[in-house]
Amino acid sequence: MQTHFSLAQLTDPDIAEANKILRTCVHCGFCNATCPTYVLLGDELDGPRGRIYLIKDMLENGRPATRQTALHIDRCLSCLACMTTCPSGVHYMHLIDEGRRHVEKTYRRPLFERVLRDIFALIMPRIGHFRRLMQVGRLAKPILSVFPGRLGAMGKLMPGRLPAPGMTEWPRVFPAAGPRRKRVALLAGCVQQVLDPAINDATVRLLTRHGCEVVVAAGGCCGSLTHHMGRDARDYARANIDAWMREIEGTGLDAIVINASGCGTTVKDYGFMLREDPAYAAKAVRISALTKDVSEFVATLALMPLSAGAAGRRVAYHAACSLQHGQHVVAQPKALLTKAGFTVLDPPEGHLCCGSAGTYNLLQPAIADRLRRRKVTNIESVKPEIVATGNIGCITQIAAGTALPVVHTVELLDWATGGPKPPAMV
């Protein structure tokens, strides 16, 4: 794609990066075939190619975002299926991030939407605030659920009960069971800690059972929730980098393990996010290189003898977009589940998003609901007993549309190697 940025514009490193990405695009349109919003809506501006043109126009001409431009940029799920499909290697993730930042800087949203986004950005990354919001929301669930639009979406996704805090809610070290073979840090996360702390608990049990010392360092939210709303998330990244660097420079770390794939995609991109920060650039690259999805890391361990309870259970594996497209981790989760004795099923249209996408199912509920119905129909068509996935957003989204138990892959691996049955299956 031909671009016409001025030399002055290209002195901005973000514009220079966008220019490089834009010039990689050859207008082929292969990306549209795997874009969930284009598949649903059939609008060129709701596919990656159309959004690329909108972003190019805004950045190249210094043009403020219009209501229409913001609409189509906001409808992007950042599922990154287009990057998997693209034959030219267009780094759409970094381009849509820059487009979102430009929209956030130049477009004044309607009041209700501004307030809603401010609330999400303030509360969701902070465990205490988010738990209190969920406690209030749980009581309001019957009322909220009857409303249309965003309020109704919040009501439907609100849990009927909140689990007790898990064992990773504060910084601590979990010793390996037996001889220590590895020492890893676990990103405890924010939303997942409140909605489903059993995932972290299962991760700790699984890793310590297999000879890993697990450190929960004083960090916090990875920053992805605010980052994908076009806001600056670098302070979240710096806080985590500082916490993990203290461990690296102390006793050392073999890996940073992340069991929420949306968070993993962001942490693996810290090196890019902080490339212009002289105090953090090198450290961020080091942290990104150490980061592994939990399935990537567990695949390097020899699984212990398996329990009989898991044998032959039919598991539909939903590949979270941030895992399959964002991190290119595809084979490991299914291979681990198969090795653990489960019968792993691949539902149709496994490349398409379930509609969760961070805060997307709250901000774009109509599209998210259509994607969930499509995803659930495809999952139920293979007649599974259990649904497994690697991201808390997908778990929450899919579980709202099916009676099947929806669990994290690591919960099944924990169960199969001596841990308790996942709470969703009890």
CATH of the domain at 316: 3.40.50.1860
Tokens of 339: 């090795």
Co-location of 409 and 342 in the same domain: yes
Burial of 281 (0-12, 13-18, 19+ CB in 10 A): middle
pLDDT at 227 over 90: yes
Residues 378-409 pLDDT 10s: 999 999 999 999 999 999 999 999 999 999 99
Residue 382 counted as domain residue: yes
The span from the CA of 351 to the CA of 175, in Å, is: 38
pLDDT bracket for residue 353 (50, 70, 90): very high
pLDDT score, position 246: 97
Q: pLDDT value at position 135? A: 86
Here the CATH number for the domain that contains residue 61 is 1.10.1060.10
> Is residue 303 included in any domain, yes or no?
no
Same domain for 335 and 242, yes or no, is no
Other CB atoms within 10 Å distance of the CB of residue 159: 16
Are residues 312 and 289 part of one domain?
Answer: no
Residues 230 and 292 in one domain: yes
Q: How far apart are CA 176 and CA 157, in angstroms?
A: 36
- pLDDT given for residue 159 in this prediction: 79
Task: Let me know whether 325 and 397 are in one domain.
Answer: yes
- Reported as a pLDDT band with limits 50, 70 and 90, residue 185 is very high
- 137 or 52, greater pLDDT: 52
Domains contained in the chain, number: 3
Within a domain: 262: yes
Region of poorest pLDDT, from 133-137, 209-213, 239-243, 335-339: 133-137
pLDDT at 308 over 90: no
Position 313 in a domain? yes
Domain coverage including residue 87? 9-106
| Same-domain pairing of 313 and 293 | no
340 shares a domain with 263: no
Is 304's pLDDT higher than 90? no
Q: Which residues have C-beta within 8 Å of that of residue 55, sequence separation ≥ 6? A: 18, 22, 73, 95, 96, 98, 99, 102
Q: Is residue 39 part of a domain?
A: yes
Say which CATH number the domain at 180 has: 3.40.50
Domain co-membership, 84 together with 33: yes
Residue 137, domain member (yes or no): no
| Range 181-210 average pLDDT | 96
Boundary-marking domain end, from 298, 316, 332: 298
Averaged pLDDT, 167-173: 94
* Whether residue 87 has pLDDT greater than 90: yes
Residues 192 and 284 reside in one and the same domain: yes
**Residue range 265-283, pLDDT digits in tens:** 999 999 999 999 999 999 9
Residue 196 pLDDT greater than 90, yes or no: yes
CB atoms within 10 A of CB 108: 11
pLDDT at 309 > cutoff 80: no
| Cβ partners under 8 Å of residue 9, min gap 6 | 15, 59, 60, 62
Q: Are residues 266 and 348 in the same domain?
A: no
Among candidate residues 278, 298, 318, the one where a domain is terminated: 298
| Residue 394 forms part of a structural domain | yes
Tell whether 148 is covered by a domain. Answer: no
Model confidence at 426, pLDDT cuts 50, 70, 90, reads: confident
- Measured distance CA(272)–CA(328) in Å, rounded: 17
Please state, in angstroms and as integers, the Cα–Cα distance from residue 127 to each residue in 165, 261, 290, following that order. 10, 19, 25
Do 265 and 316 belong to one domain?
Answer: no
Among 247, 270, 298, the domain-final residue is 298
250 and 334 co-located in one domain: no
